[in-house]
Amino acid sequence: MNKLSLRDIEVKDKKVLVRVDFNVPLDDNCNITDDTRIRAALPSIKYLIENKAKLILVSHLGRPKGKVNEKMRLTPVGIRLGELLGVKVTKLNDCVGSEVEKEVDKLKSGDALLLENTRFHKEDKENDARFSQSMANLADIYVNDAFGTAHRAHASTVGIAMFVDKAACGFLMEKEIKALNKLTENPEKPFTLIMGGAKLADKIPVMEKLIDKIDTMLLGGGVAYTFCKAKNWIIGDSLVDEVSVEVAKEIITKMRKARVELHTPLDHVVVQKISEDAQTITTERGAVPAGWIGVDIGPQAIEEYETEIGLSKTVFWNGPVGIFEMDRFANGTIAIAKALANNEDAYTVVGGGDSIAAVNKAGVADKISHISTGGGASLEYLAGVELPGIAALTEK
Ligand code: AMP
């Protein structure tokens, strides 16, 4: 990368403000249910503490919509981070203002401070210049290590970089980019793309961009039904993105021309209402009865997808192949996670919060080559979009 790296700068005794992605899932009692994103940020954090920087960490959490929300404070994150580091992390109740400035001034080299959720201020998402400057004034150096938010042009990811002398790339950001580049620069073949989830519009650019790189595309989840509809199959009341049906037809044609094997599930688990206690039946492809909704891929599809994954040398997976939040509809998604883990010869990359959760639920996270902390960011990067959070950093 042609951007300044954290490795390139002298950090000793400097106030270094690091934008991390601590947007972790919390339960109703504000307990962290998955700390993957905190752990992923540890290399930059440990490096800065060991090299005697005065560390200031800043992140968003959830969608508080510009207002203080007691359920979205970073307090539990500060506690968890302290446990992981084995040092005390002081957590403040705001991310700008005179109180914060006073605390920052008290920082000693090697100390770590965690600021409050940036999105308690609407100015963060608005990329407000004054807010960016207030945050920038806290620090000598800015580091962006929040890959998961790098596709958003906010004050804490882009605006702030305009008001500091040096804006560098953190270790996690570098690792993510390297891992994703490996998918597009001479990937070992066969290369399989697995696309699931609900928001087809987010995935279309990646499918289009990767047509010439991949050998196989496996579809599951809600996004599969728009392709089934494009083939004039009967999908009952399953999720369909009507505006994308024509695009799906074009992708089918383009993939046929490029000799990409495009698989839709051979069978589906369907229900009449989406609830844990719903009666389920399994239907063949193209035969989902009216009033029934596809919620998972069926056993034949699982078997076929396991075989395809087993034959691959490179795999990128984004989006669950069923409504996996409900245990009864998680079989397909868990099977995909395990199939990726079982193919130890392949280079496997998983992106997105849901897929990370699925890999953790299956207990196979350590057998995946790279787990990307950014769902939207990894999709945009692979689609060839320049991520604003990276573009804003200082050139080498
Ligand atoms: P995305 O953010 O686009 O990757 O979508 C993730 C969401 O897709 C998850 O919350 C899943 O519950 C949902 N999903 C997966 N399969 C289906 C399906 N067959 N119908 C509706 N939603 C689905």
User: Tell me: the pLDDT tens digits for 76-92?
Assistant: 999 999 999 999 999 99
- Residues 257/235, Cβ–Cβ less than 8 Å: no
Contacts of 7 (CB under 8 A, 6+ apart): none
Judge whether residue 181 has pLDDT over 90: yes
Nearest CA to ligand 1 atom 11: 323
| Domain ranges across the chain | 6-174, 186-382
Instruction: Supply the pLDDT for residue 298.
Output: 98
Q: Residue 162 Cα, ligand 1 centroid: separation in angstroms?
A: 37
Q: Residue 359 Cα, ligand 1 centroid: separation in angstroms?
A: 15
Judge whether residue 20 has pLDDT over 90: yes
User: Tell me: the pLDDT tens digits for 270-289?
Assistant: 999 999 999 999 999 999 99
- pLDDT-derived band at 1 (thresholds 50, 70, 90) equals confident
Q: Is the CB of 221 under 6 A from ligand 1?
A: yes
| Domain pair 6-174 / 186-382, same fold | yes
Q: From residue 89, how far is each of 21, 52, 107, 240, 248 by CA, in Å?
A: 16, 15, 11, 46, 49
Instruction: Supply the pLDDT for residue 355.
Output: 83
More confidently predicted of 262 and 1: 262
Instruction: Supply the pLDDT for residue 34.
Output: 87
What homologous superfamily does CATH list for 6-174? Phosphoglycerate kinase, N-terminal domain (3.40.50.1260)
For the residues 242-269, what does the mean pLDDT come to?
98
Q: Across the chain, where does the E strand assignment appear? A: 15-19, 54-58, 89-91, 112-114, 141-144, 166-169, 191-195, 216-219, 234-235, 261-263, 267-271, 280-284, 287-288, 293-297, 314-318, 347-351, 370-372
Third-level CATH fold of 186-382: Rossmann fold (3.40.50)
User: Tell me: the pLDDT tens digits for 355-372?
Assistant: 888 999 999 999 999 999
For the residues 307-322, what does the mean pLDDT come to?
97
Which residues participate in catalysis according to the annotation? 37, 199, 353, 376
222-253 burial by CB neighbour count: b if 16+ within 10 A, else e? Answer: bbbbbbbbbeeeebbbbbbbeebeebbbebbe
State the closest ligand 1 atom to the C-alpha of 322, by its place in the atom list counted from 1: 16
Q: Residue 237 Cα, ligand 1 centroid: separation in angstroms?
A: 15
Q: Is the CB of 219 under 6 A from ligand 1?
A: no
274-303 burial by CB neighbour count: b if 16+ within 10 A, else e? Answer: eeeeeeeeebebeebeeebbbbbbbeebbe
Q: Is the CB of 298 under 6 A from ligand 1?
A: no
Per-residue DSSP letter, 232? T
Instruction: Supply the pLDDT for residue 356.
Output: 83
Q: What percent of the chain has pLDDT over 70?
A: 100
Report d(CA 81, CA 38) in Å as an integer. Answer: 7
**Is the Cα dihedral 7, 12, 15, 21 positive or negative?**
positive
Average pLDDT over the chain, rounded to whole? 96
State the closest ligand 1 atom to the C-alpha of 295, by its place in the atom list counted from 1: 19
Largest CA distance in the chain: 67
Q: Is the CB of 376 under 6 A from ligand 1?
A: no
The residue whose CB lies within 8 Å of the most ligand 1 atoms, and thus the one to mutate among 244, 280, 323, 327, is 323
State the closest ligand 1 atom to the C-alpha of 203, by its place in the atom list counted from 1: 3
